C-alpha cells in the first residue's frame, strides 16, 4: 500500500517538475575595453571586495524606474547571476583589463595578500526614465602595507539606456561598471 501511495505522489509531481522557471535570464553585459595600452598603476595586485548593493539592486529581479520614481520589477526577467557576485566580478574583470595590476574578486586566491583592496558601496543603481542608467556611491582603496595612499571617494557615473528592456538595462549596467573601473584605475595610477 505504501508503494502505491509513493507511486501516485511521484506521478503527480512529474508534471510540476517540468513546469520550471520561465524567466529570461540576463547577464551583466561586460563592456569591451578598447585595445589600448593598459594604464600603469602603482600596485601589482588588487583584491575587489564584495560590492555592497541596495536591496532593490541585490534582488534577482531586474527593476526599472516608473513615473513618480517608483522602481518596479520587469516581468519574467531576472539577472543571470546573483547581482552582488555579478557586479563584483564585472568590476574585477574591468579593473584587470584596464590596469597593469593583477586583479581578482574576493576571496583572494593567492597565498600572499593583495597590495590593495578596493571596496565599493553602491547606493543608487537605477535604470531611469530619462534614458540614463545611474550608478553612484563610494569606493575605498585600502593599502594595509602602505603600497599607496589610502582613500575614500564618492562616485556618480551614468550610461546611456536605449530603453527599459532587460537587455538594455544589462548593457547599461556593464557600461556603468566599466566607467567606475576607469575612475578607480585613475586613483591607482603611478
CB count within 10 Å of CB 44 equals 13
Task: Answer yes or no: are the C-beta atoms of 102 and 44 closer than 8 Å.
Answer: yes
DSSP calls for 73-112: EEEEEEESS-HHHHHHHHHHHHHHHHBSSEEEESSP-SSS
pLDDT at 26 over 80: yes
CA nearest neighbour of 125 among 165, 154, 79, 157: 157
pLDDT of residue 146: 87
Higher pLDDT, 102 or 36: 102
- Within the chain, strands assigned E span 24-26, 45-48, 61-65, 71-79, 102-105, 116-127, 132-142, 151-160
Burial class (CB in 10 A: 0-12, 13-18, 19+), 18: exposed
Per-residue pLDDT tens for 37-79? 799 999 999 999 999 999 999 999 999 999 999 999 999 999 9
Rounded Cα distance between 79 and 129, Å, is 20
User: pTM (2 decimals)?
Assistant: 0.86
All domains in the chain, ordered by first residue: 23-188 (3.40.50.10610)
Residue 7: pLDDT band by 50, 70, 90 thresholds? very low
Sign (positive/negative) of CA torsion 97, 166, 20, 18?
A: negative
- Rounded mean pLDDT of the chain? 89
Nearest-10 Cα torsion for 144, 145, 149, 153:
-20
Amino acid at each position: 500500500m505504501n508503494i502505491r501511495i509513493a507511486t501516485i505522489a511521484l506521478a503527480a509531481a512529474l508534471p510540476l517538475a517540468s513546469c520550471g522557471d520561465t524567466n529570461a535570464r540576463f547577464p551583466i553585459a561586460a563592456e569591451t575595453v578598447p585595445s589600448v595600452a593598459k594604464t600603469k598603476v602603482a600596485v601589482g595586485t588588487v583584491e575587489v571586495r564584495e560590492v555592497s548593493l541596495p536591496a532593490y539592486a541585490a534582488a534577482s529581479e531586474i527593476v526599472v524606474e516608473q513615473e513618480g520614481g517608483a522602481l518596479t520589477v520587469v516581468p519574467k526577467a531576472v539577472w543571470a547571476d546573483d547581482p552582488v557576485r555579478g557586479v563584483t566580478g564585472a568590476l574585477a574583470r574591468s579593473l584587470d583589463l584596464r590596469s597593469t595590476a593583477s586583479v581578482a574578486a574576493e576571496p583572494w586566491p593567492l597565498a600572499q595578500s593583495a597590495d590593495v583592496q578596493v571596496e565599493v558601496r553602491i547606493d543608487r543603481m537605477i535604470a531611469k526614465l530619462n534614458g540614463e542608467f545611474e550608478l553612484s556611491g563610494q569606493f575605498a582603496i585600502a593599502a594595509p602595507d602602505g603600497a599607496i595612499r589610502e582613500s575614500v571617494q564618492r562616485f556618480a557615473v551614468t550610461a546611456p539606456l536605449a530603453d527599459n528592456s532587460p537587455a538594455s538595462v544589462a548593457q547599461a549596467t556593464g557600461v556603468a561598471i566599466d566607467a567606475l573601473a576607469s575612475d578607480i584605475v585613475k586613483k591607482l595610477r603611478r
